[in-house]
Amino acid sequence: MEERKVRVRFAPSPTGPLHMGGVRTALYNYLFAKKNGGDFLLRIEDTDQTRFVPGAEQYIIEALEWCGMKFDEGVHVGGPHAPYRQSERKEMYRQYAMQLIEAGHAYYAFDTTEELDEMRERLKASNVASPQYNYITRESMKNSLSLPHDEVERRLAAGDAYVVRIKIPRKEEIRVTDMIRGNVLVHSSQMDDKVLFKSDGMPTYHLANVVDDYLMKITHVIRGEEWLPSAPLHVLLYRYLGWEEVMPQFAHLPLLLKPDGNGKLSKRDGDRLGFPVFPLEWKDPFSGEISSGYREKGYFPEAFINMLALLGWNPGTNQEIFSMTELIEAFSVDRISKSGAKFDANKTKWFNQQYLRAKEDAELAEIFNKELLSKGINVDINYVENVCALIKEKAQFITEFWSLAFYFFEEPTEFDAEVIKKKWKDNVPDFLLNLTNALKTLEDFSHTSIENKFKEIAEQTGISPGSVMQIFRVAISGLAAGPAIFEMISLIGKEKVVARLEKAIKYFNETK
């Protein structure tokens, strides 16, 4: 068989915001495609109209864009296999359902909801744990296998509502070859006659998914573990539709687990433990409830992606920091683990911190400046850049910058009371006064020059420099801790520093 170009798809259903597990699925597809010089598609699987949530599709697109994943084809970028939204492909699926019926691999079923319920009740009453529409029960139901041919014809002609079900063989081993799990064998007696085509004229997920993967020439299906039980059905569909030759290879990804247990990570865990599970903020269109997102919490998309990439995959080395390009280079399906990956919110913060430290000061300044402008603070961007350079080591998020650095932009109005109480005594007031006067006339206001002066005055006052460092800081910033002090003083500038010192001395004397 000729080598086929690698083509993978991310195929979400627009039933709500994209969970980070979904982002990871998209990411692994993306990395796999790019690693292999292939295509990455976005297909929207919206055949279940009852679960449609307005805004979800737009959200998914925006979230993946924020994460830096680019699609080669898809609902928002078009492509040779358009449309990429299944509801717009509706007409394409019926013929395949009919093809399956003709080949004897599917059948019409006319059962009403009541009849289905009744069947389940009946089976439950005779101790069948999970009643199914299958090779045994189908005999006693109303379908084209059990009803006389002319009645089937009559019902179809009369326009009776029907669904199309697959006819699962009675005794067959079905083998799913999974790139992560190896061979998975399922006995067909465990499977039920799933609906492929519904009475509303829409295919179900199973049929639409297989038909579209075939038509869109998908070579690898990389998706969440929750779809593994459906894979044998999909294998049968490929076989019965005559597409076995080009059946994609499957890879079912391990679950993302909650940080403090073994269950699947859910939005509730995020609410409970205080971390987002969605890439972007989501406002539920029905309840109006707002769920926070990584973007709004101040995470860099690169950090979020880096963290997700390592949640279920490892590079085989100790390297932890990967750009998207490095991830593409390093990625391979055989390093995806079989077992679930525990999410660690602190590690995620750590990743953000690493990216924050590595960012150019100018880039940070640009982001921080937006916040400053929104507060009505309009200062030289070089000044903002210098502030960023000084404080970035202290932060994990840009969103913390203001609380760490507000005093570079406005005078503090509160001062650390503990420090004042503890330190404002003996000859400390003299020291600060002397220092203020000395700084007033200091020509060179560089940090080394300030530091020298500081030491000189401490010595003259007969005090150890280390013991007055903190009160000096509090006088300028109000806070007991912060960045390198002499750099900070130098940056704020002589005039402001002197004015603040004078005010602080007065205030300390009054409040001590």
Residue 312 DSSP one-character state:
S
SS3 257: strand
Output the six-digit token pair for 253.
Answer: 């990804």
- Cα angle vertex 510, ends 509, 512, to 5°? 65
Residue 469 DSSP one-character state:
H
Output the six-digit token pair for 500.
Answer: 């603040």
Q: Find the binding residues for ligand GLU in span 117-136 (CB under 6 A).
A: none
The reply to whether 45 sits near ligand GLU by the rule CB under 6 A is yes
CB nearer to ligand GLU: give 13 or 137. Answer: 13
Question: What is the number of alpha carbons within 13 Å of residue 172 lying toward its C-beta?
Answer: 15
In the complex, the smallest distance separating the C-beta of residue 344 from ligand GLU, rounded to whole angstroms, is: 24
| Dihedral in degrees, nearest 10, Cα atoms 403, 404, 410, 415 | 90
Q: Which of 422, 501, 432 is nearest to 463 (CA)?
A: 432
The reply to whether 470 sits near ligand GLU by the rule CB under 6 A is no
Phi, psi of 190, rounded to the nearest 5 degrees: -85, -10
Greatest Cα-to-Cα distance within the chain, rounded to the nearest angstrom: 113
Residue 267 falls in the annotated catalytic set: yes
Taking CB under 6 A as the criterion, the residue among 89, 223, 258, 392 binding ligand GLU is 223
In the complex, the smallest distance separating the C-beta of residue 181 from ligand GLU, rounded to whole angstroms, is: 16
Q: Tell me which stretch binds ligand GLU (CB under 6 A): 9-17, 53-61, 97-105, 415-423.
A: 9-17
Q: What is the distance between the alpha carbons of residues 322 and 238, in angstroms, rounded to a whole number?
A: 38
CB nearer to ligand GLU: give 198 or 223. Answer: 223
In the complex, the smallest distance separating the C-beta of residue 205 from ligand GLU, rounded to whole angstroms, is: 6
Catalytic hit among 35, 264, 267, 347: 267
R_g over Cα of the chain: 33
Q: What is the distance between the alpha carbons of residues 39 and 79, in angstroms, rounded to a whole number?
A: 11
Binding-site size, ligand GLU (CB under 6 A): 9
- Cα angle vertex 235, ends 229, 238, to 5°? 145
Taking CB under 6 A as the criterion, the residue among 52, 227, 238, 350 binding ligand GLU is 227
Output the six-digit token pair for 119.
Answer: 């069947």
CB nearer to ligand GLU: give 42 or 164. Answer: 42
The reply to whether 232 sits near ligand GLU by the rule CB under 6 A is no
Q: Find the binding residues for ligand GLU in span 167-206 (CB under 6 A).
A: 205
CB nearer to ligand GLU: give 13 or 132. Answer: 13
CB nearer to ligand GLU: give 81 or 500. Answer: 81
Binding pattern for the stretch 11-30 against ligand GLU, x by CB under 6 A and - elsewhere: xxx-----------------
In the complex, the smallest distance separating the C-beta of residue 234 from ligand GLU, rounded to whole angstroms, is: 8
The reply to whether 279 sits near ligand GLU by the rule CB under 6 A is no
- Asked whether the beta carbons of 228 and 184 are under 8 A apart, the reply is yes
Residues forming contacts to ligand GLU in the complex (CB under 6 A) are 11-13, 45, 205, 209, 221, 223, 227
Which residues does the annotation mark as catalytic?
267
